[in-house]
């Protein structure tokens, strides 16, 4: 009986080690899932894609639109971009568990010519701001 318990423990421990994923594997899995299943709805949005930068522990998300690069669009999306980021966090398109592991999400909202209309680097500090748990005086989603 003692031998069976030892063997079962060794097998369970080996299975545990095999099933554990490191941060880089989680980043790759998140990017793959994002690119295969995510669709972001909104005015003028044509596509979205994620890209992993494993050495930097960073995921870049590009949201492409058919909008022109002009001051009116920049101003409109500067004001609405934080709401879009909050929705992406809520839908786990920006993973708070990966951010807790030190991964940063660099999110770009692009005009039809790939000019940046809005951009934000979402890390632990920015996540706290977006979720409303940050220290007072912090702001979010600057251009």
Domain ranges of the chain: 21-131
Higher pLDDT, 39 or 92: 92
Query: What is the model's pLDDT at position 143?
Result: 41
CA atoms of 30 and 27, how far apart (whole Å): 5
CA atoms of 77 and 73, how far apart (whole Å): 6
Q: For residue 62, what are the contacts with CB-CB under 8 A and spacing of at least 6?
A: 48, 49, 50, 51, 108, 110
Torsion of CA 41, 44, 47, 49, to 10 degrees: -80
Is residue 140 scored above 80 in pLDDT? no
User: Residue 66 carries which DSSP code?
Assistant: S
Per-residue pLDDT tens over the stretch 21-63: 788 889 999 999 999 987 777 778 889 999 999 889 999 999 9
* CATH, range 21-131: 3.30.300.250
């Amino acid at each position: 009986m003692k031998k069976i318990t030892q063997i079962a423990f060794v097998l369970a421990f080996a299975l545990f080690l095999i099933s554990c994923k490191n941060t880089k594997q989680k980043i790759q899995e998140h990017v793959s899932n994002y690119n295969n299943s995510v669709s972001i709805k909104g005015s003028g949005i044509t596509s979205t894609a994620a890209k992993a930068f494993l050495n930097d522990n960073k995921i870049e998300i590009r949201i492409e639109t058919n909008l022109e690069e002009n001051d009116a669009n920049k101003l409109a999306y500067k004001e609405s971009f934080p709401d879009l980021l909050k929705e992406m966090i809520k839908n786990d398109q920006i993973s708070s568990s990966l951010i807790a592991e030190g991964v940063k999400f660099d999110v770009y909202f692009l005009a039809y010519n790939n000019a940046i209309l809005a951009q934000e680097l979402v890390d632990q500090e920015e996540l706290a701001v977006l979720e409303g748990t940050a220290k007072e005086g912090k702001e979010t989603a600057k251009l």
